[in-house]
Amino acid sequence: MEFASCDVLVVGGGGAGLRAAIAVAEADPSLRVAVVSKVYPMRSHTVSAEGGAAAVIKPGDSLDAHAYDTISGGDWLPDQDVVEAFVREAPEEMLRLEHWGCPWSREPDGSVAVRAFGGMTVERTWFAADKTGFHMLHTLFQTSLKYEGVQRFDECFATRLLVDDGRCQGLVAIELATGRVLGITARAVILCTGGCGKVFAFTTNAAIKNGDGMALAYRAGAPLKDMEFVQYHPTGLPFTGILITEAARSEGGYLLNKDGYRYLQDYDLGKPQPKPVLRSMELGPRDRLSQAFVKEQEKGRTLKGPYGDYVHLDVRHLGEALIDRKLPFVRELCLKYENIDPVKEMIAVRPVAHYMMGGVSTDIQGATPLPGLYAAGECACVSINGANRLGSNSLPELLVFGARAGRSAAAFAARQKTPGTAVSAQAVDEEHRLHDLLGRRGGKERIATLRSEMQQAMERSAGIYRTQASLEEGAAALGKLSERYQDLALDDRSQTFNTELTAALELGYMLELARAIVASALWRRESRGSHQRTDFPKRDDQGYLSHSLAYRGEDRAPRVEALPVTITRWPPGERVYGR
């Protein structure tokens, strides 16, 4: 076992992690900051974000408008003080990224261009063609190379947080290339490990989205907030689940059912117009659009395909010139993976799991209830997204809260004593656990089988619409899978880059998070945003204007409590689109 130490340890090298690391390096150059990531930073899932990042800079827009759109988009579950801070800091963070070289798309006069996006009243979404996340991540990664004080532990897989004396003091990770177990102590830890979309069967998410940091925090005693809120993106490709960006709709695409009818008009989302109307029809919020698909499916008006039902996304009327200028990646993906050219044909799409509004509970500074542990990005729940995230809010969230968590972790670390020897003993224990796992003989369960059964159970029980019965069935199924998980069989006993061991550890994280999702969904007996219960179809502000907080219980089953939402200037109102 090998030991290393630093002052601030960032887990995850995506948008939030890299921004946090830079923030620490700039806030206090005397601090040693390390970034631990199970993949090289440029492989992080930030890279696949396409549509854009919202921030108020154009005249005619206002911080209050962005805040209102976000709060109403989140069905009044977002914490309003946090949203106010977010909309205020987003423009500065985005400009800072531009100064770092991000190639934002431009107006003819050279200023940054913005476009419309779902649920926004004003055009405020900055974009870099339709590869915004890619350009943001690479800008952050390349800029981070400037800072000599940032040390990277690439391809190191975190397995456990070290907690002693009531605070988080580091973690244990496997150095994948050698199999060596590393104990890295730190005076503060920031989790930026992303979401856990892979608990579902159909998802836009990459293989690496297994909720590692969420599970590590959960196991260390930190609560997970609002886990029941899972965003289904309305337009993913069937079979692969590859994301077709919302920008296709904000540029003017239509969603059509099997009769060629723009069905969203039947679901209180406005009247169809030839050009896109903000906050209406195809520019409504993602949860409502995904729910409309399910209703169409129940009416038998969706098309049937070899990989499930789908509807059509029609962008033909936008013309080749616009598609090549504003949606080139969409065209490339459709041509390659579906063999269709969106300039001439309609794209088959269906809702797929995409984003976790929930995550490790943090305050406005990015601090979790566990001292020394911070979180930012999709793995955290601050909460600015509430019950449903608006498209183009999550990329600025990475910057704003990555920076906040970095600064507050830096301030905290500077005040702490260096970690003592108690954590070293914990680290050694963890090394033994990992070696035991690797050396275990017998076992008859296969990772792929359990993983697939978990994903199917989640689609069935905790999809777009949920009932008491479906959720209870899901909870029971997940309980059984968790038992069977104890009897896993591994083929790979090597120390060198053992991806079967990491897959087994990831499955363990996902099973815990799946149970937390289901338990939180059972707790919330109302329908709000993306959590829809057919047995409790109305929003209940009396009983549930609160976040759910899921704690890991003694018997490993989740225990859910309430945390009231912070309301400042926008009392709960009716969530209206298209009117």
Considering only residues 243 through 302, tell me which ones interact with other proteins, judged by CB under 8 A: 243
Stretch near other proteins under the rule CB under 8 A, chosen from 38-46, 183-191, 315-323, 530-538: 38-46
From CA 499, how far away is CA 340, in angstroms rounded? Answer: 35
Closest listed residue to residue 518, CA positions, set 573, 454, 427, 431: 454
Amino acid of residue 156:
C
- Between 203 and 424, name the residue whose CB sits nearer to other proteins: 203
Q: Which is catalytic among the residues 45, 124, 152, 249?
A: 249
From CA 400, how far away is CA 366, in angstroms rounded? Answer: 10
| Cβ 219 to other proteins shortest distance, Å | 24
Give just the sign of the alpha carbon dihedral 222, 227, 232, 236. positive
Stretch near other proteins under the rule CB under 8 A, chosen from 18-26, 201-209, 516-524, 571-579: 201-209
Is residue 1 at the binding interface for other proteins, with CB under 8 A as the rule?
no
Q: Would you give the binding string for other proteins spanning residues 85-124, x where CB under 8 A is met?
A: -------x--xx-xxxx-xxxx-xxxxx------------
Return the structure tokens found at 424: 């070293």
- Between 23 and 516, name the residue whose CB sits nearer to other proteins: 23
Is residue 344 at the binding interface for other proteins, with CB under 8 A as the rule?
no
The arrangement of strands across the sheet holding 53-54 comes to 53-54, 125-126, 114-115
Is residue 175 at the binding interface for other proteins, with CB under 8 A as the rule?
yes
- Between 206 and 562, name the residue whose CB sits nearer to other proteins: 206
Q: Is 249 a catalytic residue?
A: yes
Stretch near other proteins under the rule CB under 8 A, chosen from 44-52, 410-418, 431-439, 565-573: 44-52
Is residue 2 at the binding interface for other proteins, with CB under 8 A as the rule?
yes
Is residue 242 at the binding interface for other proteins, with CB under 8 A as the rule?
yes
Residue of 76, 153, 374, 509 interacting with other proteins (CB under 8 A): 153
Q: Would you give the binding string for other proteins spanning residues 465-504, x where CB under 8 A is met?
A: -------------------------xxxxxxxxxxx--x-
Is residue 389 at the binding interface for other proteins, with CB under 8 A as the rule?
no
CA angle 376, 381, 385 (to 5 degrees): 110
| Cβ 513 to other proteins shortest distance, Å | 19
- Between 487 and 540, name the residue whose CB sits nearer to other proteins: 487
- In 3-state terms the chain splits into helix, strand, coil percentages (rounded to 5) of 40, 20, 40
Is residue 143 at the binding interface for other proteins, with CB under 8 A as the rule?
yes
- 223-259: b (≥16 Cβ within 10 Å) or e: bbbbbbbbbbbbbbbbeebbbbbbbbbbbbbbbbbbe
Contacts of 410 (CB under 8 A, 6+ apart): 7, 8, 23, 24, 27, 28, 31, 188
From CA 300, how far away is CA 525, in angstroms rounded? Answer: 28
Return the structure tokens found at 147: 């800072």
| Cβ 202 to other proteins shortest distance, Å | 13
Residue of 28, 75, 155, 228 interacting with other proteins (CB under 8 A): 155
Q: In angstroms, what CA-CA distances link 470 with 202, 406, 442, 476, 534?
A: 18, 40, 34, 10, 11
Q: Residue 352 forms beta bridges with which residues?
A: 233
Q: Is 233 a catalytic residue?
A: yes
Is residue 40 at the binding interface for other proteins, with CB under 8 A as the rule?
yes
Task: Note every long-range contact of 57-61, with CB atoms under 8 Å and residues 24 or more positions apart, other chains counting.
Answer: 57/91, 57/94, 57/95, 57/112, 57/114, 57/124, 57/126, 58/114, 58/122, 58/123, 58/124, 60/122, 61/122, 61/123, 61/124
From CA 252, how far away is CA 244, in angstroms rounded? Answer: 14
Q: Which is catalytic among the residues 19, 233, 404, 539?
A: 233
Task: Find out whether 234 and 290 touch, Cβ atoms under 8 Å.
Answer: yes
Is residue 447 at the binding interface for other proteins, with CB under 8 A as the rule?
yes
Is residue 142 at the binding interface for other proteins, with CB under 8 A as the rule?
yes
Residue of 335, 422, 448, 576 interacting with other proteins (CB under 8 A): 448
Binding site for other proteins (CB under 8 A): 2, 39-40, 42-45, 47-48, 57, 92, 95-96, 98-101, 103-106, 108-112, 131, 134-135, 138, 142-143, 145-146, 152-156, 175, 177-178, 180, 206-208, 239-240, 242-243, 333, 336-337, 446-448, 490-500, 503
Catalytic residues: 233, 249
